[in-house]
Structure 1
Amino acid sequence: METYVMLEIGLALCIVGAAGLLAARFRFSIVPFLILAGMAVGPQAPVIGVFDFRFIESTPLIQFMGRLGVLFLLFYLGLEFSVGRLLKAGKSIFLGGTTYMLINFSLGMALPYLWGWPLREILVVAGIISISSSAIVAKVLVDLKRTVRAETEMILGLMLYQDVFVAVYLSIVSGLVLTGATSSTTVLKTSVIALGFMLSFILVGRKLAPRINKLLNVPSDEIFMLIVFGILTLVAGLSETIHVAEAIGALLVGLVLAETDHLERIEHIVVPFRDFFGALFFFSFGLSIDPFSLGGAIWPALIAVIVTIIGNFVAGLIAGRKAGYSYQGATNIGLTITSRGEFSIILANLAKAGGLLSILQPFAALYVLLLAILGPLLTKESKWIYSKLAGVFGWPSIKDKKQRRRAEAKG
């Protein structure tokens, strides 16, 4: 049988471009368009008559390029900050992250329990509901030009906090699901390694900033790019080997390189790769979803989406206010981290490998798809949502805040 990988890749890029034009036409985030486009041509997509539009041969390659997209998205997000800023916000990030996880994990446990699902299924659903999608959140922040906002620091910190949780939780759940038991020693070791790696990398990277400056002080853009991308992929790969998400490794590299004198040059080189491979990530995510399996999970997914939106808003509001952000900033935090993605699908695949309830995979796929659509929309419309909430709860209106700033400027 002949394979047409290059043809499929070419068609994929054209579809991604068409999705971008459609998103621009409707002035909406490109993310849901890319996911839906991937579903339409994935290996499980329907065959219409004699026409077979399924992307079968190229799917592994597209998914690998999608992984690179996650790296570039998180790397760029890390460049927008610095190690110093994160270290100063360490206490508020810890308190905010703990609050966020307590609220969302509790809700994630309660829902499947009320549905009467078994314990292992409850633990899987709790993880699916608790963890935000780093890739989607990063993409939305970049698209809406919100990386410079004050509350984005807390959003970034929450993603780091969640990754420590993921490292621990995945080891627990995989033990329970695949073998029916888990070792407390293994769990403790995994969590210590994950946390130790992130803290050590940040502290050592900051100390080595002068030497990194010298290493990157090369006139050739080609060599400069090879050095930066080499460091990026190497650290991401090392992260994966010790059960820290490769995307978080990329984020850490961005945080460290943000301390160097070459920040603007790095950003200039990275942006095209971020946009190209980032789009392919969401398209590849759609390729992994079987559209025929979604029907039986509609009601559980809809209920979980509603609960997630409410839980995220409450958690973001509490975490933001505790960290000293305004009501509007705290509202932005809760709305921005609503999207779910890659970790939810990993857990669903783990459940399938462990022979758990067959509804878990379509539930996760539909749940992620809905929040991939609603998450960017809620973030985009956060100003309008806040203005409505301010009227209900008596918070300072946007107009009042602007007038106060003008008065302070004059004074």
Structure 2
Amino acid sequence: MDHTVFEVGVAIGLIALAGLISAKLRFSVIPFYILVGMAVGPHAIQWWHIDLRFIESAPLIEFMGRIGVLFLLFYLGLEFSVGRLIKSGRSIAVGGTIYILINFTLGFLFGWAMQLPIQEILIVAGITTISSSAIVAKVLVDLKRTANSETEMILGIIMFEDVFLAVYISIVSGLVLSGSSSFGGVALSAAIALGFMLFILVVGRKCVPLLNRLLRIRSNELFMLVVFAGLFIVAGFSETIHVAEAIGALLVGLVLAETEHMKRIEHIILPFRDFFGAIFFFSFGLTIDPLSLGGAVWMSLGAVVVTLFGNFVAGMWAGRVAGLSPKASANIGLTIVARGEFSIIMANLAKAGGLLPIIQPFAALYVLILAVLGPLLTKESKAIFGPLDRVFKFTRSYNKRKQAAPQEP
């Protein structure tokens, strides 16, 4: 504990250095934060007899990273409103179902093709199905896409994934840790998660006039304390009922976006979002053991290919159901391709259940690759969609000509 402040200071310095390098190279900063965390994490080797491993301060940095996820999702929620999300409720439910079904099915088949036991297959399917809400939020904000037409669907899929996660973890943890799972317990977990989200959205919207009055506080200090108290209480409570704390933060942001104080909240939250958000990706890197990744290279690369395909197909299909353009639909699949914190949770569950040791390095390398590819694919989505758009136009033109051509007797 004597060196905790110094270690945290060095960590922040390394994060800043990673940010400067990424800005110089004009590349997404997220992979740099993760890689520098790996380089100095508890599993890293000593550099020239200098021990930069953040062993003592790792738990504190991890907690600061959790706060970063809350601020990222809270800010993303501020960019929207409950009204807009409710209007898109049906298309979001359909789009979320499409996304989960496609990616879960492909993940399950991939695990089966790898000839894994059934419990490991279920873990692999969970790892490959759930996207990283923190990385998605960071990318949307950095690329200034929060106002895009497809972002409502992206947000909805993130929330839909959390309901699925609550159910799925209940099932898999029962199978992996105890050998059985109660149907009643699973149904209850799903009902609580969905009911909590609907309660916050509906009641929060009706309480907007009251929130407007409560937040008419002149002092910026008191105003910030009140907002932060609400954020952490709701996010913390959501975790106690098995709803991801990040989703609780998103819900608070969606409610406060309806108030007349939205711009003031946004202005205050920005520096906290940027600071703690950077620490989250660094802390994520601390959890990865670089020396354990070699044995899972081919399995991870195969899963990455499957995920890229599944995400693109799911995004195009979900966007079409929502009436979005092909370009916006492609953006959905490319934006939510990143995997992160939820995949690591599934891998930790496998470790606790004593499953095959390949699961941990597989999950770490798979997440690392997609954490790098996800922001890059999102940034270059226009260049990626260009050639595909020409194929779509040619196909549509060919079909029209075929339909217009006279039928032979």
- State the TM-score, normalizing by the size of structure 2: 0.96
Cα displacement string for residues 183-229 of structure 1 (whole angstroms, at most 9, x for unaligned residues)? 00000000000000000110000011111111100100000000000
RMSD (CA atoms): 1.1
Q: How many residues align?
A: 396
Q: Which residue of 2 aligns with 1:89?
A: 88
Deviation at residue 388 of structure 1 after TM alignment:
1.2
1:5 equivalent to 2:4? Answer yes
Q: Which residue of 2 aligns with 1:179?
A: 178
Matching of residues 371-410 of structure 1 within 5 Å? 371-394=370-393
Counterpart secondary structure, 1:136: helix
Q: Which residue of 2 aligns with 1:232?
A: 231
Deviation at residue 59 of structure 1 after TM alignment:
0.4
CA distance in 1, matches of 2:301, 2:350: 20
Matching of residues 59-138 of structure 1 within 5 Å? 59-138=58-137
Matching of residues 12-411 of structure 1 within 5 Å? 12-394=11-393
CA distance in 1, matches of 2:251, 2:117: 38
Question: What is the one-letter code of the residue matched to 1:166?
Answer: L
Deviation at residue 395 of structure 1 after TM alignment:
6.8
5+ long unaligned stretches in structure 2: 397-409
Question: What is the one-letter code of the residue matched to 1:389?
Answer: L
Question: What is the one-letter code of the residue matched to 1:380?
Answer: K
Deviation at residue 50 of structure 1 after TM alignment:
2.2
Deviation at residue 240 of structure 1 after TM alignment:
0.1
Deviation at residue 372 of structure 1 after TM alignment:
0.3
Deviation at residue 28 of structure 1 after TM alignment:
1.2
Deviation at residue 26 of structure 1 after TM alignment:
1.2
Contact 1:296/1:359 (CA < 8 Å) preserved in 2?
yes
Q: Which runs of 4+ in 1 moved over 3 A?
A: none
Deviation at residue 396 of structure 1 after TM alignment:
11
Deviation at residue 29 of structure 1 after TM alignment:
1.1
- Alignment CA distance shift 1:396-1:333 (3 Å): farther
Counterpart secondary structure, 2:147: coil
Deviation at residue 362 of structure 1 after TM alignment:
0.2
Question: What is the one-letter code of the residue matched to 2:385?
Answer: Y
Cα displacement string for residues 339-376 of structure 1 (whole angstroms, at most 9, x for unaligned residues)? 00000001101101100000000000000000000000
Deviation at residue 112 of structure 1 after TM alignment:
1.0
CA distance in 1, matches of 2:394, 2:300: 32
Question: What is the one-letter code of the residue matched to 2:222?
Answer: I
CA distance in 1, matches of 2:326, 2:224: 41
Question: What is the one-letter code of the residue matched to 1:285?
Answer: F
Question: What is the one-letter code of the residue matched to 2:294?
Answer: G
5+ long unaligned stretches in structure 1: 398-411
Contact 1:390/1:396 (CA < 8 Å) preserved in 2?
no
Deviation at residue 90 of structure 1 after TM alignment:
0.2
Contact 1:137/1:336 (CA < 8 Å) preserved in 2?
yes
Q: Which residue of 2 aligns with 1:408?
A: none
CA distance in 1, matches of 2:179, 2:296: 26
Question: What is the one-letter code of the residue matched to 1:101?
Answer: I
